[in-house]
Structure 1
């Protein structure tokens, strides 16, 4: 009987595979076709008949209304369904994925006589919470029990590191799959294999290269040869033709991994009832030119992962190639180039199409299989045991608790672990049980093999009792998997739209962190329209709405016993377990109440095409304006970033995804992410363009602070000013300058209050913006009172007038429902 999960599944966009650790070796399980992988395609010709794999894939370009593939890109999207026309059946992406998993599970059952109860399933490192959640749902629908998820590049590293004796090495995993790309920096140190950092794109894969070949090479050739007008992918009239061309492009691309050219054929429906055979000779260099922006994007993500890990290419021993796309000679040549690529030694000793499944199985062999608790039969004993299934150490601890039926005095017994076949043989000392039956025994392991220890329960007469289980097996291996990490940061969207991460990307799971925030507006129990809103956000971008909102906490007046003043503390705790289940709790100490976030991972929808096209237009406009601004200022870093966006053809890729979104929810999700990323990068360019103006603003503020300190400051003020001036001299980025600006503004405000001029400045700010007030008439009256107070030097009255003007400040500028800020006084005041 297995005591570990042992089975690993690579649930891929194009192909899927299942592997198992058996007799100390990670082995891929072949399907009924004798293949080591199963195409991720489902064909339902009629109700009650479901075909998965090769037979489905071969039908895709002939019966596209009854066959579906590449649904992984739509995992976790609400409303995404695929309909099988003949049967009338509609399935969601998790349900389609479950059919693939059922097929793999049946292959394992065919080999071992029974289906596995659980498996470790891989997901792209760039998958977000809702996509991981959908994968877990697919496993449940397929009949598996609890299935741990592991990132694809991590699994690949496990396969390479399995029984690898390198004591101290650093690798990079280059995982270019059918629909996703991941780059991970992995280290093996002190017997532990762990991921240092990663970058990825869940919408960058080989299928995009296939479609690019179709749209940029084959479709124009078809249109010319047969005189077809409006022959584009988004034209429903030509949908079947484009699927046939996609099939032909994929087959030709695979052939080009071995040959310099490939002849492809596709049957083209001319729209008038006639069909013609289209023939085209695709050359390897032609396909490489089309694939160039995708290769460049992947390489730049590798460089970003290295940079975040504070490493250089010279620090990496090997580049581990994973995924079918890495079989392309053009990509391998590019990666080996130290200038155009990575210049790291390529390692392709593992089959890139099945390495992820084998690595998942390696990890699965370290995960205990959930077992029902054994109750002892009458007159017998049972032990509840905890011990590592795999370890890089040569000693291990076995912890347990012994129970008997009926209960007995456990202090009469001792535990002994015996391995007479070990190299060398081992027998532990007799360890007495405590009154509750607890014990801890240390055992010695044989190197690079499994050690099986017989569990001996010795009574006070020296005899042994019958106990279940009878034995313990622990395997020594050189590189022990370092566990799961969080792949995207999780935190809050603050009132000023900034993202405040609480649990950061790379945190070892399970993980739990707490941070303190402050309300940006008062919450009055008599005001039923105002509430505190705390959005929970997942991502890495500094602007919150460039990330993905996954949850929300709302605190309404009816939820609190007393009024909450502005600046009230809110302690937010985020916890993520090993299965990536997220819990978020906000604690408000003033009212001693807790509020739990509603985390709804089933309500993520693809944006509609009109919205995507509007944002694409906005991106184009921003790029043009920023290039003009950067050109006028001559600020080279901003121009370099814009050149990189152009070089990767990021806007072209976004345009392609937006066009495809008209008929494909997965492409809509890809377009949404690409546009969010572009907007975030343009935010950075905009900050760079504004850098000279920010520097001027900082210099002017420091000058004013110096004058105030010279006139009003004490020793502490001078120390603070000197520190601000020092930080200003070192600040280089917009964020660094803004941080110093904020600190200098605080010093200026404090000194102006001491001088009595702060309220005058605040009053004039309100006066200049009185047209924005919620009640202009009331604002005009208060402005008149303020002018009179200044004329008569009645500054106490001016303070009260400012307080009343603040109450007229519109909600959209100081939003009372925006929730919290990391600063006690919020942003803007």
Structure 2
């Protein structure tokens, strides 16, 4: 009987695998064809008859319409469906993934005679909450009834490399390029703890991108040139079957080129009139390397991002751990080894890149105790509640517990010991007496680098053995102790001004929680039934809320409150995430003494339509070129660097290709939307950098003007406020943060209004500003009349009547259509 989960599954885009931890050793469970991995492919020719794995993949050439692959890319999209026309059936990516998991589970049942009820399942490090939730759902559909904890793929790979490795104080980096996703992670082995310091990834970057580029840039032109096919495009229904054949050929060629300099691609293609012709193309390794290089460089940049976030440089890393089939390409390995274009970190490919993630997941599964089924204790039987580490790098660990039974017992006369009869020589602890309340602690010596399975010996006051449950426990010893999981992507809220405030930061250990106080930015009047304070919950790393993925919202409506909530009232926000990445967000309003919980909707993301993507692409390209022109005329080296970084990643060009592919591929459509949102966020940073000089000059003038007002009519409180603003100005100038500068400018304006009102000159300042806007007013004749009236009042020093003139002039201003946001704002904002 197992005490820990022990089974680990790599649910991959291209291939999937399952491994098991037994006796301190990890082995990959072979499928029914005696192969270590199972292709993530499903074929259905007839309703109710479904084939998973290599049997499905073999049908891709002769029946591509009824074979589905690469559905992992569409996980978390509830409107994504894959069709099996011959069977008249459609399935979601979750259902298809469940079939793959079910096949792995059945193979394990045949091989080990125990189909696992629980497993650790890996997901890309960059998977969002909706995608991880979809993976959990797939596990439930596959028949797993026990806990199925999720583990980041690069973390699993690091565990596989780190198990039995005695490196101390080392830093590694995982480079995990799979069939459809890329992940990098910085790993530390300091103080015998194997922990992930930081990670970065792209859920739409993998071998499939290279395959698609090989088809579009090499094979399609060859088809048009050799065979004369017209309108030979992906979105032409006439040729879709041909593109399935070309994709298979491209993948096979790419794999062959890992072993040889060139290969021959030969594909028989139907002309559409019943006749077929052979496409015969020679493909050279250097051609594929050139096409793949932009994707390689993007992966390398993500590695650099992870290093920067961990405050490390490439020379600080001892080795680069290669994971995933595409990392076998010699061109990629040469590029990675280059210290200029690549990373220059020594490469480690000692583990099988196709199964290392499953192995690491099984190792982690060995650290998670299975829930024990507690049955009622009968008279004469004894029950233990135990506390001990499932894994440890220490030679000796304590096992604590409490014994209970039906009725009374003189626990101080009971004794307990642990034994391991299989160890050579056999091992048994010194028996210890229980405390009067039934508690105890026993120190056990671990056999190194193996699974230690101990039997529990409980003896009653007479010295006779007492029946006890559980009767065994398991502790695995390993050189590097694996640390727990972390927050994958930052989760926070979007404030009323559109900025994003992180609450649960990326890489924070799980479980995690944070509480922070905000204030309301508008008054919620009970009688206004349409009034609402809306607090969006989002996931992502960008400073603007709308650049991140919204996952939920809290709405405080007027009909839900007993009395008015004025502007500026406290709202205490609490964010919590458990080890299964379940998120809870609560807003507590002390004035109401009431909590409002967020509605977290992880199924709200939909496949973007082509028209939306085209519009987004047009806006992105236009803004990209506009900012390029501005950068060329600026002296800001930082702005130039940010633009160069965006161009080096080929983000805009990649988004353009994905928009085209998105016509027939829902995963590409989603990738295009995310890529364009990321590019717009990068352009936000460039635009903000270009605004810095103007914002800082304006702030400097405002501070100088406000200082004069404070000297004339300011109080001690006003002087303290100005001093705080000046301190923050220095920080804003150092950080070159234009957005923070704008917020600081607003604070200065508020202070100026207070001082001008106290000085008696505020209304005159407002009148002069309105007089300057006379030409914009909707009724010029009425505006002239009011301005003459105001000038008479100024001449007569009739300050009491001037505010009414200003009010009437403001009504003549055109509607600016400003977006007045109602939500919350941080209390410590500049």
Give the TM-score normalised by structure 1: 0.93
Q: Residue in 1 aligned with 2:602?
A: 601
Q: Residue in 1 aligned with 2:84?
A: 84
In structure 1, C-alpha distance between the alignment counterparts of 2:779 and 2:410, rounded to whole Å: 81
Q: Contact 1:241–1:267 (CA<8 Å) still a contact in 2?
A: no
Q: Residue in 2 aligned with 1:822?
A: 826
CA 1:362/1:773 → structure 2, altered by over 3 Å: closer, same or farther? farther
Q: Residue in 2 aligned with 1:286?
A: 287
Q: Residue in 2 aligned with 1:113?
A: 113
2:24 aligned with 1:28, yes or no? no
Q: Residue in 1 aligned with 2:581?
A: 580
How far apart are residue 381 of structure 1 and its match?
1.3
How far apart are residue 625 of structure 1 and its match?
0.5
2:220 aligned with 1:215, yes or no? no
Q: Residue in 1 aligned with 2:198?
A: 197
Q: Deviation per CA, 1:67-96: give whole Å up to 9, x if none.
A: 100000100102101111111111100000
In structure 2, C-alpha distance between the alignment counterparts of 1:434 and 1:765, rounded to whole Å: 84
How far apart are residue 751 of structure 1 and its match?
4.2
Q: Contact 1:709–1:717 (CA<8 Å) still a contact in 2?
A: no
Q: Contact 2:25–2:450 (CA<8 Å) still a contact in 1?
A: no
Q: Contact 2:410–2:436 (CA<8 Å) still a contact in 1?
A: no
In structure 1, C-alpha distance between the alignment counterparts of 2:618 and 2:564, rounded to whole Å: 45
- 1:522 aligned counterpart, secondary structure: coil
Aligned pairs (5 A) from 1:415-494: 415-419=416-420, 421=423, 425-435=427-437, 437-494=438-495
Q: Residue in 2 aligned with 1:72?
A: 72
Q: Residue in 2 aligned with 1:387?
A: 388
How far apart are residue 168 of structure 1 and its match?
1.1
In structure 2, C-alpha distance between the alignment counterparts of 1:304 and 1:549, rounded to whole Å: 24
- 1:59 aligned counterpart, secondary structure: coil
How far apart are residue 492 of structure 1 and its match?
0.8
Q: Residue in 2 aligned with 1:126?
A: 126
CA 1:276/1:693 → structure 2, altered by over 3 Å: closer, same or farther? same
CA 1:525/1:40 → structure 2, altered by over 3 Å: closer, same or farther? same
Q: Contact 2:23–2:450 (CA<8 Å) still a contact in 1?
A: no
In structure 1, C-alpha distance between the alignment counterparts of 2:534 and 2:483, rounded to whole Å: 37
Q: Residue in 2 aligned with 1:617?
A: 618
RMSD of aligned Cα (Å): 3.0
How far apart are residue 629 of structure 1 and its match?
1.0
Q: Contact 1:431–1:441 (CA<8 Å) still a contact in 2?
A: no
Q: Contact 1:731–1:737 (CA<8 Å) still a contact in 2?
A: no
How far apart are residue 611 of structure 1 and its match?
0.4
Q: Residue in 2 aligned with 1:734?
A: 738
- 1:564 aligned counterpart, secondary structure: coil
CA 1:290/1:457 → structure 2, altered by over 3 Å: closer, same or farther? same
In structure 1, C-alpha distance between the alignment counterparts of 2:54 and 2:530, rounded to whole Å: 58
Q: Contact 1:418–1:428 (CA<8 Å) still a contact in 2?
A: no
CA 1:567/1:465 → structure 2, altered by over 3 Å: closer, same or farther? same
Q: Residue in 2 aligned with 1:397?
A: 398
Aligned pairs (5 A) from 1:452-601: 452-601=453-602
Worse-matched range after superposition: 545-554 or 740-749: 740-749
2:337 aligned with 1:336, yes or no? yes
Q: Residue in 1 aligned with 2:818?
A: 813
How far apart are residue 418 of structure 1 and its match?
4.1
In structure 2, C-alpha distance between the alignment counterparts of 1:809 and 1:466, rounded to whole Å: 86
How far apart are residue 819 of structure 1 and its match?
1.3
Q: Contact 2:14–2:39 (CA<8 Å) still a contact in 1?
A: yes
In structure 2, C-alpha distance between the alignment counterparts of 1:289 and 1:340, rounded to whole Å: 14
Worse-matched range after superposition: 475-484 or 628-637: 628-637
Q: Deviation per CA, 1:393-433: give whole Å up to 9, x if none.
A: 22323232322245545455343334575779452452424
Worse-matched range after superposition: 742-751 or 45-54: 742-751
In structure 1, C-alpha distance between the alignment counterparts of 2:414 and 2:816, rounded to whole Å: 72
Q: Contact 1:423–1:446 (CA<8 Å) still a contact in 2?
A: no
Worse-matched range after superposition: 265-274 or 500-509: 265-274
Q: Deviation per CA, 1:561-592: give whole Å up to 9, x if none.
A: 11000111111111111111111111111011
Q: Residue in 2 aligned with 1:166?
A: 167
Aligned pairs (5 A) from 1:620-639: 620-639=621-640
Q: Contact 2:172–2:319 (CA<8 Å) still a contact in 1?
A: yes
CA 1:773/1:386 → structure 2, altered by over 3 Å: closer, same or farther? farther
Worse-matched range after superposition: 660-669 or 378-387: 378-387
Worse-matched range after superposition: 749-758 or 495-504: 749-758
Worse-matched range after superposition: 306-315 or 271-280: 271-280
How far apart are residue 639 of structure 1 and its match?
2.6
In structure 1, C-alpha distance between the alignment counterparts of 2:341 and 2:59, rounded to whole Å: 40
CA 1:724/1:128 → structure 2, altered by over 3 Å: closer, same or farther? closer
Q: Contact 1:422–1:446 (CA<8 Å) still a contact in 2?
A: no
Q: Deviation per CA, 1:455-481: give whole Å up to 9, x if none.
A: 222333343312122232222211111
How far apart are residue 232 of structure 1 and its match?
1.4
In structure 1, C-alpha distance between the alignment counterparts of 2:388 and 2:794, rounded to whole Å: 77
Q: Contact 2:3–2:473 (CA<8 Å) still a contact in 1?
A: no
CA 1:18/1:725 → structure 2, altered by over 3 Å: closer, same or farther? closer
How far apart are residue 553 of structure 1 and its match?
0.9
Q: Deviation per CA, 1:196-251: give whole Å up to 9, x if none.
A: 11111100000010000001111011111122222111222211111111110000
In structure 1, C-alpha distance between the alignment counterparts of 2:201 and 2:167, rounded to whole Å: 26
CA 1:96/1:726 → structure 2, altered by over 3 Å: closer, same or farther? closer
Q: Deviation per CA, 1:663-699: give whole Å up to 9, x if none.
A: 1211111011101001000111111222222232233
Worse-matched range after superposition: 480-489 or 766-775: 766-775
Q: Contact 2:121–2:149 (CA<8 Å) still a contact in 1?
A: yes
How far apart are residue 363 of structure 1 and its match?
0.4
Q: Contact 1:774–1:810 (CA<8 Å) still a contact in 2?
A: no
Q: Deviation per CA, 1:100-144: give whole Å up to 9, x if none.
A: 001111111111112001110000000000000000000000001
How far apart are residue 760 of structure 1 and its match?
5.1
CA 1:540/1:769 → structure 2, altered by over 3 Å: closer, same or farther? farther
In structure 2, C-alpha distance between the alignment counterparts of 1:782 and 1:418, rounded to whole Å: 97
- 1:134 aligned counterpart, secondary structure: helix
2:53 aligned with 1:53, yes or no? yes
Q: Residue in 1 aligned with 2:149?
A: 148
- 1:472 aligned counterpart, secondary structure: strand
Q: Contact 1:514–1:572 (CA<8 Å) still a contact in 2?
A: yes
Q: Residue in 2 aligned with 1:650?
A: 651
In structure 2, C-alpha distance between the alignment counterparts of 1:55 and 1:268, rounded to whole Å: 23
- 2:369 aligned counterpart, secondary structure: coil
Q: Residue in 1 aligned with 2:9?
A: 9
- 1:208 aligned counterpart, secondary structure: helix
- 1:509 aligned counterpart, secondary structure: coil
How far apart are residue 609 of structure 1 and its match?
1.0
Q: Contact 1:422–1:451 (CA<8 Å) still a contact in 2?
A: no
- 2:144 aligned counterpart, secondary structure: coil
- 2:485 aligned counterpart, secondary structure: coil
In structure 2, C-alpha distance between the alignment counterparts of 1:576 and 1:702, rounded to whole Å: 43
Q: Contact 2:39–2:54 (CA<8 Å) still a contact in 1?
A: yes
CA 1:696/1:33 → structure 2, altered by over 3 Å: closer, same or farther? same
2:232 aligned with 1:234, yes or no? no
How far apart are residue 39 of structure 1 and its match?
0.5
In structure 1, C-alpha distance between the alignment counterparts of 2:805 and 2:533, rounded to whole Å: 26
In structure 1, C-alpha distance between the alignment counterparts of 2:780 and 2:42, rounded to whole Å: 64
How far apart are residue 650 of structure 1 and its match?
1.7
Worse-matched range after superposition: 723-732 or 571-580: 723-732
Q: Contact 2:417–2:428 (CA<8 Å) still a contact in 1?
A: no
Q: Deviation per CA, 1:269-300: give whole Å up to 9, x if none.
A: 22333221101111000000100110110011
Q: Contact 1:376–1:468 (CA<8 Å) still a contact in 2?
A: no
Aligned pairs (5 A) from 1:747-766: 748-749=752-753, 751-758=755-762, 761=765
In structure 2, C-alpha distance between the alignment counterparts of 1:373 and 1:805, rounded to whole Å: 78
Q: Deviation per CA, 1:600-619: give whole Å up to 9, x if none.
A: 11221121110011010001
In structure 1, C-alpha distance between the alignment counterparts of 2:591 and 2:793, rounded to whole Å: 37
How far apart are residue 524 of structure 1 and its match?
0.4
Residue segments in structure 1 that go unaligned for 5+ positions in a row: none
